[in-house]
A and B are shown apart, each in its own frame.
Chain A
Amino acid sequence: MANMTLIQAVNDGLKTAMRGDESILCFGEDVGPKGGVFLATEGLTTEFGKERCFDTPLSEDGIIGTAIGMAMNGLRPVAEIQFQDFIFPAFDQIVSEAAKLRYRSGGQYTAPMVIRTPYGGGIRGGLYHSQSGEAYFAHTAGLKVVIPSTPHDAKGLLLASIQDPDPVLFMEPKALYRAVKGEVPEGEYTVDLSTLRTVREGRDVTIYCYGAMVPVVEKAAAQAKEQRDIDCLVVDLRTLMPLDEEGVLEAAKQTGRVVVVHEAPRFCGYGAEISALIAENCIEYMEAPVKRVTGFDTPFPNTLEHHYLPDDRRVLDAIEAVYDF
Chain B
Amino acid sequence: MTDMLTVIRPDGATKKGYDAGLSDDGLLHCYRTMLLVRSFDEICLKLQRAGRIGFSIPNRGIEATQVGAASAMRKTDWIFPSYRDFGMALYHGISPVDMMHNMFGNAEDSAKGRQMPVHFSFTEPIHFYSISSPIGTHLPHAVGAAYASKLRGEDTVHLVSFGDGGTSSLGFHSGMNFAAVWKAPVVFLCQNNGYAISCPSDEQTASDGYAVKAEAYGMPHATVDGNDLFAVRQAVSEATERARKGEGPTLIEAVTFRMGGHSTSDDPSRYVPKELFDEWEKKDPVERFRRFLEKKGLWNQTVEDTMRKETLAEIDSAAKIAEKTDKPGLETIFSDVFAEVPGHIRRQGEFLFDLVKRRGEASAGGGEFPL
Contacts and interface: CB of A to CB of B under 8 A. Distances in A.
B371 interface: yes
A128 B364 contact: no
Given A30-B199, A34-B270, A175 B333 contact: no
A311 interface: yes
B204 A306 contact: no
A176 to B, nearest CB: 10
A32 to B, nearest CB: 7
A92 to B, nearest CB: 10
Interface in B316-342: 327-328, 330, 332-334, 337
A298 B134 contact: no
B285 interface: no
Contacts of A317: 355, 358-359
A135 B185 CA distance: 40
B362 A298 contact: no
Interface of A: 29-30, 32-35, 37-38, 55-59, 61-62, 85-86, 88-89, 121-129, 175, 266-267, 296-299, 301-309, 311, 313-314, 316-317
Contact of A85 (B134, B358, B363): B134
A296 B199 contact: no
A265 to B, nearest CB: 9
Contacts, number: 150
Contacts of A311: 362-363
Contacts of A175: 365, 367
A132 B116 CA distance: 17
Contacts of A89: 134, 169-170
Interface stretch (B10-18, B92-100, B344-352): B344-352
Given A62-B168, A125-B116, A125-B369, A55 B348 contact: no
18 contacts: A29-B196, A34-B270, A37-B371, A57-B203, A58-B135, A58-B166, A62-B168, A86-B133, A124-B368, A175-B365, A296-B348, A299-B337, A301-B332, A303-B106, A303-B113, A306-B364, A311-B363, A317-B355
Nearest to B342: A297
Q: In which size bucket is the chain B interface?
A: 35 or more
B168 to A, nearest CB: 4
B202 to A, nearest CB: 11
B271 interface: yes
Contacts of A123: 367-370
Nearest to B197: A30
A296 B55 CA distance: 25
Given A33-B271, A123-B370, A124-B116, A304 B330 contact: yes
B198 interface: yes
B6 interface: no
B170 A297 contact: no
B123 interface: no
Contacts of B61: none
Contact of B198 (A30, A308, A313): A30
B226 interface: no
Contacts of B175: none
A37 B271 CA distance: 13
A301 B199 contact: no
A29 B355 contact: no
Contact of A129 (B105, B116, B166, B205): B116
Contacts of B165: 57-58
